Structure 1
Amino acid sequence: MRTLILLALAGLGAQLVDGSLGMAYGVTSTTLLLAMGTNPAAASATVHLAEIGTTLMSGAAHWRFGNVDWRVVARIGVPGAVGAFLGATALSHLSTDLAEPLMSAILLGLGVYVMSRFTFRGLPKGQLGKPLRKRFLSPLGLVAGFLDATGGGGWGPVGTPALLASGRMEPRKVIGSVDTSEFLVAVAASLGFLVSLGSQGVDAVWVLAFLLGGLVAAPVAAWLVRLLPPRVLGSAVGGVIVLTNVRTLLRVGGASVPTTPVYVVLCALWTAAVAYSIRAHRAERAAQEPSVETVTAGV
């Protein structure tokens, strides 16, 4: 019973982060299952089966709060589903050991870019509102879907920073659209695992525990992301990407340097970046608000 409660709480926490920052449900949940001794394919299958329900609830909540661009959902979600099915099928036969550090290095670079861009420049205005082209979204969805299925997570870490870096969508709509399109990815990946593995290694009770926790958190996260200022949200997302991928690179590379000081320094820099973004946001908002004297003079 304690294991099921732990899994439900992990699902709740993972969905709260995923729904508000656009990533981390699969990474967090899969990491926990692997630590419990589950084999990679079964862990990824368990998480994706739970995600069918959590992403459906999350997408509905994001749509309710106006966080979804349906054109982006269709253009990234359909190729993402194809990539997820292929990735799920390949996971039983292929090793991703070589791809993991390369992917993490690319994502680390994107994370540093996103965090620095939103921290020091705020939300990019020049490209905001311009349509994202299909020739950009389709390959992005295909790659992200494949990595998501083979790595137990990757749809958000790949899709969210790439769309944020484009500067053409508000952060809340990036997160809402990525979360909503993930439903197609979860369904396709689950089908791929069921075709390749059947139900081998998948515990239905564990799936249910993850699902229940995620369903509770999904509407809360969709509401939260609508309230957070875009500049602060961008800095927060960038920090998550950096921390996650530095951890992966240190683990895969077998670095001899102590990891704790590295995490402490990164967390301090991340905290400083978010704090700077909050101050800058307040200054921008204060500058936009008319002063009392101006209002009085106008009257």
Structure 2
Amino acid sequence: MRALILLGLVGFAAQLVDGSLGMAYGVTSTTLLLAIGTNAAAASATVHLAEIGTTLASGISHWRFGNVDWKVVAKIGIPGAVGAFAGATFLSSLSTELGAPIMSIILLSLGVYILIRFTAFGLPRGNLGKPLRKRFLAPLGLLAGFVDATGGGGWGPVGTPAILASGRLEPRKVIGSIDASEFLIALAASAGFLIGIGSENIDFGWVGVLLLGGIIAAPIAAWLVRHIPPRILGSAVGGVIVLTNVRTLLRSDWIDANSTVQTIAYITIAVLWAAAITYSVRAYRRDKAAEALEAQSERREATPA
């Protein structure tokens, strides 16, 4: 019962982050499932089956708040589904001993990317309003879908920053469109896993609990995307993912680090993580203060003498 409650809370928290940031539901949930000993393919399959419901709820919520560009959804979602099916088939063919470390490396890489991206740069805002081309979105979707299925998450961490970096779509619509298109990726990946490993290797009770937590969080996240600072949230989530997957790798047969090395690694990561969050908070406050001063200056210029 305690494990199910924990999974429900993880599903809630992961969807709250994903719906607000456009990433990290799969990465966060899969990281936890690996940490408690679930095999790599089963962990990714469990998360993707839950995501069929959570992404549908999230997409509808974002659509109701006007956060979705359906042209972007179509251009990136269909190639993404092809990549996700291929990734699920690939991961299903790997042994458990090989699959877990490989997935942890992918998750760790995504966690480092999220941590650095949001801590150092925040959300880019340039070229707003320019069209997003199919020749950019289709390969991006194919790659993001493959990474998502093999890593148990990655659709958001790959897709969201890439579109944000283009500066052609406002952040809330990037997040809403990525979340809405993820429904197609979840369907395709789930089909690939069911064919590859069969339903007997999946705990549908876990799927249901993750799904329930995510569905509850989806409308809250779609509303929060307009109000919470993504820079701070990105730094916080990135640190969790890095710390957890470093732990998995250090305890794997590949490394098998002793307790002293593990302790030093955890302390180092914790210090860097705290520094990243502190920097993000200060940067956010600095940017808000600059925006307030700019707005005040514009009001003064607009006021007749």
The answer as to 2:21 corresponding to 1:24 is no
Q: How does 1:28-39 map to 2 (within 5 A)?
A: 28-39=28-39
CA contact 1:19–1:175 (8 Å) conserved in 2: yes
**Structure-2-length-normalised TM-score:** 0.84
Asked whether 1:279 is paired with 2:286, we answer yes
Corresponding position of 1:217: 217
The one-letter code of the counterpart of 1:219 is P
Which residue matches 1:112?
116
Structure 2: 5+ residue runs without aligned partners?
Answer: none
Matched, 1:262 2:269: yes
Work out the number of aligned pairs and report it: 291
CA pair 164-235 structure 1, distance change in 2 beyond 3 A: farther
Distance 2:189 2:106 in 1: 22
Matched, 1:76 2:80: no
Maintained 8 Å contact 2:164/2:174: yes
Q: Give 1:292 shift.
A: 8.1
Tell me the SS of whatever aligns to 1:298.
coil
Work out the percentage of aligned pairs sharing the same amino acid: 56
> Displacement, 1:46?
1.0
Shift of residue 156 of structure 1? 1.2
Aligned in 2, Cα 1:246/1:131: closer, same or farther, shift over 3 Å?
Answer: farther
Corresponding residue for residue 124 of structure 1: 125
Aligned-pair RMSD on alpha carbons?
2.8
Which residue number corresponds to residue 92 of structure 1? 92
CA distance in 1, matches of 2:296, 2:64: 29
Q: Which amino acid letter does the alignment assign opposite residue 233 of structure 1?
A: P
Q: Which runs of 5+ in 1 are unaligned?
A: none
Alignment of 1:103-252 (within 5 A): 104-105=108-109, 108=112, 111-118=115-122, 123-125=124-126, 127-228=127-228, 232-234=229-231, 236-237=233-234, 240-241=237-238, 244-245=241-242, 248=245, 252=249
TM-score normalised by the chain length of structure 1: 0.85
The AA in structure 2 aligned to 1:124 is R
Q: Report the CA distance between 1:114 and its aligned residue.
A: 4.7
8 A contact 1:74–1:181 mirrored in 2: yes
> Aligned ranges for residues 1-16 of structure 1 at < 5 Å?
1-16=1-16
Q: Secondary structure at the match of 1:216?
A: helix
- For the 8 Å contact 1:114–1:164, the answer to whether it is kept is no
| Rounded Cα–Cα distance in structure 1 between residues aligned with 2:183 and 2:147 | 15
1:235, 1:250 → 2: CA distance? 23
* CA shift for structure 1 position 33: 1.8
Following the alignment from structure 2 to structure 1, what is the Cα–Cα distance between the partners of residues 203 and 289?
48
Identify the range of structure 1 (40-49 vs 1-10) with the bigger mean alpha-carbon deviation. Answer: 1-10
